């Protein structure tokens, strides 16, 4: 066990007891990165190298010197007896969709590959103000558009540390891979349809999608502005709570950041689940499998291993004193993806108009006759297929003649999805839930190349996570077992607006009750190999 394998709260304690220095923690993480990460993602990777398949490839940009300067500053403050921030000396990685002043901030796209951000996103600034140390920028699906990390323009793309021929999930795949591989105890991700929770489930780590507006979006390169939520990724619930504490709160730079005080997420973390009402819905044990060739959408049960993991978790919580409420109807769950296909595309197309080769980013080097030709060539060469697909769909479904049929309808279905949750969580209603317990994903991590290219099937990977984005409510995914191939299974707790403290408390109760479970002793393939060397 190296320092880099310890949790943020353990490292924080060791640092304050002066048993380790911030530089020692940092060097441990940098050593792990050198051992397991392989070459970083790049626009011109050339032919695949044999060793590429053996490495994690979480990073696009490693900022080791910047991190060393920060770690040395923490050690100086410690030596001088000055007050330390709550995350002092704790390394973290940042999904490369956040601007960080002076660093390439690429969105994993050619069109922003040369962009050096002139300012820092609020969540990153808050991590650094709390003393945390940024290791660098990690890979993602291009502009976050995907659920496998395979659409990144920066290759090699990340692999799942648990099984290197599997995807890490997406779009925060570099974030969850870096945390699972012990490269960093924490990572900052974003979740628009499940992009924190789905890769967290695939990589066996904890991922929190906060309530919309709980964490500022200032400095986040926008995708779906009514859906995007920055949030923490960690190896355990306590660390996720620590990180959320640092990044949450009002921000004068973001008018959608809720003007609400941030509760103490650690205060009630260990208070257990006695008396809490936790729901199960049959609508989250059914999944939709699209067959676009036939144009049909078949409903199937969630795979048995995943359903059983959720049921076991419900039993554990019941043993701890929670009341499990069965058969909570969430009838509009299955419409989450169809509505998302419309809403997110309209917002994406709008947000992507700004990339035009004029103010920043890529401009075509080809000779052009006029401005319009420059726009077209720049956007054609700069965007990959997935951004193009989203722009075109956004243009179509928001066109004046189709808007009522598609966009307006999708926004009204969004109302129904929100109502499902409002009814389930209504304190005076029939169900009076404190939280809903569901599977996070319809499958465990799938093989690289197995889904990529089929944009419909890929989108359905988010079918159990996207309803929370439509509704704006918070959710957390935590590990809850392994499937027959040894791949992590994630379970999800969803709660009412701004109920993060309660969700963290429930997740922590499950974590504590299962800390001796045999599946918790399993280690990702990449770390087993390292131990065997």
Residues annotated catalytic, as ranges: 95, 171, 195
Residue 413 near another protein by CB under 8 A: yes
* Piece of 63-71, 315-323, 361-369, 517-525 that binds another protein (CB under 8 A): 361-369
Reading the block at residue 388, the tokens are 């193009």
Residue 533 near another protein by CB under 8 A: no
> 3-state SS string over 352-399?
HCCCCCCCCCCCCCCCCCCHHHHHHHHHHHHCCHHHHHHHHHHHHHCC
Q: Which of 131, 119, 132 is nearest to 93 (CA)?
A: 132
Residues 496-515 interacting with another protein (rule: CB under 8 A): 497
Angle between helices 8-16 and 237-247 (to 10 degrees): 80
DSSP string for residues in 185-199: SEEEEEESSSTTHHH
**229 backbone dihedrals φ, ψ, rounded to 5°:** -135, 120
Residue 213 near another protein by CB under 8 A: yes
Distance of CA 5 to the CA centre of its chain: 20
Residues 18-77 interacting with another protein (rule: CB under 8 A): none
**39 backbone dihedrals φ, ψ, rounded to 5°:** -75, 145
Alpha-carbon gap, residue 496 to 234, rounded angstroms: 22
Residue 211 near another protein by CB under 8 A: yes
Q: Which of 369, 484, 516, 532 binds another protein (CB under 8 A)?
A: 369
State the virtual CA torsion across 231, 511, 486, 436 in degrees, nearest 10: -60
Residue with tokens 């969430």: 330
Number of residues forming the site for another protein (CB under 8 A): 83
Residue 350 near another protein by CB under 8 A: no
Q: Which is nearer to another protein, 133 or 393 (CB)?
A: 393
Residues 475-494 interacting with another protein (rule: CB under 8 A): none
Reading the block at residue 387, the tokens are 């951004």
Q: Which is nearer to another protein, 99 or 240 (CB)?
A: 99
* Piece of 36-44, 157-165, 270-278, 354-362 that binds another protein (CB under 8 A): 354-362
State the virtual CA torsion across 96, 99, 104, 106 in degrees, nearest 10: 50
Q: How far is CA 474 from CA 122, 167, 226, in A?
A: 20, 25, 14
Provide the CB-side half-sphere exposure for 112 (13 A, CA): 23
For residue 318, the SS3 value is helix
CB atoms within 10 A of CB 24: 16
Residues 159-188 interacting with another protein (rule: CB under 8 A): none
Residue 260 near another protein by CB under 8 A: yes
Residue 456 near another protein by CB under 8 A: yes
Residue 311 near another protein by CB under 8 A: no
**149 backbone dihedrals φ, ψ, rounded to 5°:** 75, 5
Distance in Å, CB of 177 to another protein, minimum: 27
Reading the block at residue 266, the tokens are 């650690």
Reading the block at residue 78, the tokens are 């410690």
Q: Which of 48, 118, 301, 321 binds another protein (CB under 8 A)?
A: 118
Distance in Å, CB of 417 to another protein, minimum: 8
Distance in Å, CB of 300 to another protein, minimum: 15
* Piece of 189-197, 238-246, 275-283, 379-387 that binds another protein (CB under 8 A): 379-387
* Piece of 2-10, 88-96, 168-176, 251-259 that binds another protein (CB under 8 A): 251-259
Q: Which is nearer to another protein, 321 or 331 (CB)?
A: 331
Residue 359 near another protein by CB under 8 A: yes
* Piece of 133-141, 208-216, 298-306, 310-318 that binds another protein (CB under 8 A): 208-216
Residues 289-308 interacting with another protein (rule: CB under 8 A): 290, 292-295, 297
Residue 337 near another protein by CB under 8 A: yes
Residues 83-112 interacting with another protein (rule: CB under 8 A): none
Look at the chain and count its residues: 533
Residue 158 near another protein by CB under 8 A: no
Q: Which of 284, 335, 493, 510 binds another protein (CB under 8 A)?
A: 335
């Amino acid at each position: 066990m190296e320092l880099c394998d310890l949790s943020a709260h353990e490292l924080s304690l060791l640092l304050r007891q002066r048993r380790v220095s911030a530089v020692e923690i940092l060097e441990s993480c940098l050593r792990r990165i050198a051992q397991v990460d392989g070459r970083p993602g790049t626009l011109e990777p050339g032919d695949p190298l044999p060793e590429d398949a053996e490495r994690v490839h979480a990073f696009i940009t490693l900022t080791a010197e910047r991190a060393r300067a920060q770690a040395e500053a923490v050690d100086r403050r410690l030596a001088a007896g000055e007050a330390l921030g709550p995350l002092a000396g704790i390394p973290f990685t940042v999904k490369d969709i956040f601007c960080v002043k002076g660093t390439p901030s690429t969105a994993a796209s050619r069109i922003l590959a040369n962009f050096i951000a002139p300012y820092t996103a609020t969540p990153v600034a808050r991590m650094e103000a709390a003393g945390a140390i940024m290791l660098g920028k990690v890979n993602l699906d291009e502009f976050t558009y995907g659920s496998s990390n395979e659409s990144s323009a920066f290759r090699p793309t990340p692999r799942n540390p648990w099984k290197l021929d599997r995807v890490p999930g997406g779009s925060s795949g570099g974030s969850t891979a870096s945390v699972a591989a012990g490269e960093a105890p924490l990572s900052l991700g974003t979740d628009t349809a499940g992009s924190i929770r789905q890769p967290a489930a695939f990589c066996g780590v904890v991922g929190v999608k906060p309530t919309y507006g709980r964490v500022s979006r200032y400095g986040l390169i926008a995708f779906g502005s009514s859906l995007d939520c920055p949030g923490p990724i960690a190896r355990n619930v306590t660390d996720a709570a620590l990180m959320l504490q640092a990044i949450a709160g009002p921000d004068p730079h973001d008018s959608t950041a809720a003007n609400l005080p941030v509760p103490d997420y650690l205060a009630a973390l260990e208070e257990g689940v006695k008396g809490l009402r936790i729901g199960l819905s049959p609508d989250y044990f059914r999944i939709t499998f699209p067959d676009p060739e036939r144009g049909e959408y078949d409903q199937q049960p969630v795979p048995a291993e995943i359903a059983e993991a959720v049921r076991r978790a419900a039993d554990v919580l019941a043993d701890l004193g929670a009341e499990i409420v069965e058969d909570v109807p969430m009838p509009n769950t299955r419409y989450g993806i169809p509505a998302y296909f419309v809403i997110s595309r309209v917002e994406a197309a709008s947000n992507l108009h700004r990339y035009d080769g004029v103010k920043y980013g890529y401009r075509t080097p080809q000779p052009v006759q006029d401005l319009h030709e420059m726009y077209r060539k720049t956007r054609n060469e700069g965007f990959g297929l997935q951004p193009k697909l989203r722009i075109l769909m956004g243009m179509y479904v928001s066109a004046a003649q189709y808007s009522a049929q598609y966009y307006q309808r999708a926004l009204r279905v969004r109302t129904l999805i929100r109502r499902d949750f409002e009814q389930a969580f209504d304190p005076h209603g029939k169900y009076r839930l404190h939280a809903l317990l569901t599977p996070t994903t319809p499958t465990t991590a799938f093989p690289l190349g197995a889904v990529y290219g089929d944009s419909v099937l890929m989108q359905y990977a988010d079918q159990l996570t996207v309803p929370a984005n439509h509704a704006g409510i918070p959710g957390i995914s935590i590990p809850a077992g392994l499937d027959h191939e040894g791949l992590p299974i994630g379970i999800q707790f969803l709660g009412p607006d701004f109920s993060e403290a309660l969700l963290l408390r429930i997740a922590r109760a499950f974590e504590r009750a299962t800390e001796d479970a045999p599946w918790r002793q399993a280690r990702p393939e990449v770390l087993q190999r390292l131990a065997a060397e």
